[in-house]
């Protein structure tokens, strides 16, 4: 069976990209990275991709001053030319227009460092601490034109611990991101994650999970 071809969009160090690279290196993983695209030529993630023998491209937003449609059209053409079937945002720090999102409807996913729909936007870890929640985490979802909206594919819950600050909590959430993103891609590539309106239905057997209490009983 042919593998799902991924295009990964980055702007920086690419730690979630590395998690996808590592997952795709397994012979039984049902997806492969066809292209890593960055809007910044100095993004460290490009080095990660090159080291893994993955094709890279740079489409700089600075080459299209004041012309976001042209910038996004160039990105779209580059992804299409590489045969990309699913676009994965991995620290891509540009807001995408409804046009671009529409070009990749139900074929564009993102990982966000919170348990959506809570804490959309930035500074999620400090906001979680300020609110006093006992669980934080991360979410992989299909992208919609509204920021941090879209059908949820998978989530990982991370307990908030006594003494946590934003950096400590962020590190633990990031560890979960690195496990969750490849898991979500596998669900999509295997055809087990199916969009049904505003929800994602997971096909096949799903083990029942026990409740987790924080602070512990």
Could you list the residues known to form a binding site for (6R)-10-formyltetrahydrofolate, using ranges: 68, 93-96, 110
Which helix H or strand E contains 176, and what residues bound it? helix 166-189
For 123, residues 6+ apart whose C-beta sits below 8 A from its C-beta are: 166
113 vs 24: CA distance, rounded Å: 22
Is 167 tagged catalytic?
no
- Residue written as tokens 């699913």? 86
d(CA 166, CA 177): 16
Q: DSSP labels for 95-116?
A: PPPHHHHHHTTTSEEEEESSST
Summarize the annotated binding site as residue ranges: 14-16, 68, 93-96, 110
Q: Catalytic residue, from 61, 105, 112, 167: name it.
A: 112
Helix (H), strand (E) counts: the chain: 6, 9
d(CA 151, CA 195): 7
Tokens of 129: 């601490």
Active site positions, annotated: 112
């Amino acid at each position: 069976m042919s593998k799902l071809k991924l295009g990964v969009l980055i702007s920086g160090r690419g730690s979630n990209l590395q998690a996808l690279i590592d997952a795709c290196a397994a012979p039984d993983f049902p997806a492969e990275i066809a292209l890593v695209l960055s809007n910044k030529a100095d993004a460290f993630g490009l080095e990660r991709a090159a080291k893994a023998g993955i094709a890279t491209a740079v489409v700089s937003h600075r080459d299209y001053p004041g012309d976001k449609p042209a910038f996004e059209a160039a990105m779209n053409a580059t992804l299409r030319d590489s045969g990309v079937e699913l676009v994965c945002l991995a620290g891509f720090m540009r807001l995408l227009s409804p046009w671009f999102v529409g070009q990749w409807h139900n074929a564009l996913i993102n990982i966000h460092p919170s348990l959506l729909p809570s804490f959309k936007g930035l500074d999620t870890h400090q906001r979680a601490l300020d609110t006093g929640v006992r669980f934080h985490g991360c979410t992989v979802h299909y992208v919609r034109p509204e920021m941090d909206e879209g059908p949820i594919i998978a989530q990982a819950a991370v307990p908030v611990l006594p003494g946590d600050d934003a950096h400590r909590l962020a590190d633990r959430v990031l560890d979960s991101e690195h496990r969750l993103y490849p898991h979500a891609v596998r669900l999509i590539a295997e055809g087990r994650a199916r969009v049904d309106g505003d929800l994602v239905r997971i096909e096949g057997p799903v083990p029942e999970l026990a409740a987790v209490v924080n602070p512990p009983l």
